[in-house]
Amino acid sequence: MPQMTFVEQDGTEHKVDAPVGLSVLEIAHKHGIDLEGACEGSLACATCHVIVDPTWAPKLAAPTDDEEDMLDLAFGLEKTSRLGCQIVMTDALDGLVVRLPSKA
């Protein structure tokens, strides 16, 4: 099974199993990672904002216009920011690393 790593704001890393077909948001919830997802993955908010490690960003599909619009509302936006609900785990993403943005 693929794995991925969530990096908290303080640098704490959580390497977790990441079942193929689940979104980064769903994987976070499955493992008790503090990633909100207020709209439950319906692409109606930006509360599942994550920052993809720069080495992994080019391996992801480009964000849709709808995702880009929601990202404009995210706090702490960075060049590799994405919505966790829009990144779906595949075998090719085994090892993916995402950082949780600052909340303030």
47-76, pLDDT tens digit by residue?
999 999 999 999 999 999 999 999 999 989
- Banded model confidence at residue 104, pLDDT cuts 50, 70, 90: low
- Angstrom distance (rounded) from CA 52 to CA 63: 12
**Top CATH class, 1-97:** alpha beta
Answer whether residue 90 shows pLDDT above 70: yes
Mean pLDDT in the chain?
96
